[in-house]
Amino acid sequence: MLRSHGRCRYSAIVDRPDFSWPEGKRLAVHLSVNLEHFAYGEGLGIGYTPGLPQPATYNWAWREYGNRVGVWRILDLLDELALPASLLINSEIYDHCPEVVAAFRRRGDEIVAHGRTNSEHQRDFDEAGERQLIAEARRTIERHEGKPPQGWLSPGINVNETTPDLLQEAGFSYLLDWPLDEQPVWLKTRRGHILAIPYPHEVNDIPMVVLNHGTAPAFADMIIDNFDEMLRQSAKQSLVYGVALHTFIAGQPFRLKHLRRALQHLCGARDRVWFAPAGAIAAHFAAHAPMKPEA
């Protein structure tokens, strides 16, 4: 028998108890805006021009564009369409550009923990070091927002086997690291359980644009096609659709034009879709489909 993670059992989506989102809606959509800060001249970080020796100013500046320009363009678009967002932040953002977080805070958007910086991955730490990393990021957000974050996405989604355990023990109620389903999934932890909310690996501008060299029109078409098909499938089972955006990629003008087209299309079905932050989706599911002791 193959080695198992032991976090959850196999479950066919066609065999589960039925439920609905608020107002009887069947498709929940969350827009995740990743706001990241990178160390200059050291550490990890995806590069527009891989292989450049440090300080790799060109790559650092490409990513910094998202904090200085791209995020403000995305904010304007979200305001234009009256769409909520989940802001996934490196906690170092508060020292670097706190005014960006303040702009999302004024909109009432959810703040989700995304580690300290994407210049490091949790996989490179032992358990004690990762516990400290998680606690530091959580405390920083709580200090600035007046309440602790409920959700977590690991930088680079590069995790340890014990990451769900450490997150649950630190007080998080959901994570975005396990994209194994189109519905939320309860994961066992060594001291309880934590909810995995679907976060997209596919409808995500990093793999689509940077890794697979997809064009801006193709990424917009992907968002639309995935939405149309999931809306159709949601008649059978209530589903969660996430769109992952990074400010230094989606915030580029030629991509923003097509992102606007895609999001306008999604808004055309607003009467049938629940647009909500990831935390609200997690809370609704937990209230209507609580963890079963035998699961």
Check pLDDT > 50 for residue 189. Answer: yes
Q: Average per-residue pLDDT in the chain? A: 95
Check pLDDT > 70 for residue 294. Answer: no
Using pLDDT thresholds of 50, 70 and 90, give the confidence band for residue 291.
Answer: confident
Q: What is the pLDDT of residue 45?
A: 83
Q: What's the average model confidence in pLDDT over 261-277?
A: 98
Mind listing the pLDDT tens digit for each residue in 93-121?
Answer: 999 999 999 999 999 999 999 999 999 99
Spatial distance between the Cα atoms of 16 and 295, rounded to a whole number of angstroms: 13
| Closest to 93 (Cα-Cα) out of 106, 84, 104 | 104
Share of the chain above pLDDT 70, in %: 99
Q: What is the pLDDT of residue 236?
A: 96
Q: Which CATH architecture has domain 20-288?
A: Alpha-Beta Barrel (3.20)
Share of the chain above pLDDT 90, in %: 91
Q: What is the pLDDT of residue 47?
A: 78
Q: Please name every residue paired with 120 in a beta bridge, in sequence order, or none if there are none.
A: none
42 against 22, higher pLDDT: 22
H-run or E-run covering 112: strand 110-113
Q: What is the pLDDT of residue 295?
A: 43
Q: What's the average model confidence in pLDDT over 205-211?
A: 94
Could you identify the residue written with the tokens 């097509």? 258
Q: What is the pLDDT of residue 229?
A: 98
Check pLDDT > 80 for residue 293. Answer: no
Mind listing the pLDDT tens digit for each residue in 72-100?
Answer: 999 999 999 999 999 999 999 999 999 99
All structural domains of the chain with their residue ranges: 20-288
Predicted model pTM? 0.95
CB-side exposure of 112: number of CA atoms within 13 Å?
30
Q: What is the pLDDT of residue 7?
A: 97
Q: Which residues of 169-207 are buried (b: 16+ CB within 10 A; e: fewer)?
A: bbebbbbbbbbebbbbbbbbbeeebbbbbbbbeebbbbe
Q: What is the pLDDT of residue 50?
A: 72
Check pLDDT > 70 for residue 144. Answer: yes
Q: What's the average model confidence in pLDDT over 183-210?
A: 96
Check pLDDT > 80 for residue 48. Answer: no
Q: What share of the chain is helix, strand, coil (3-state, %, to 5)?
A: 45, 15, 40
Q: What is the pLDDT of residue 64?
A: 97
Q: What is the pLDDT of residue 74?
A: 98
Residue 83: exposure state from Cβ atoms within 10 A (0-12, 13-18, ≥19): middle
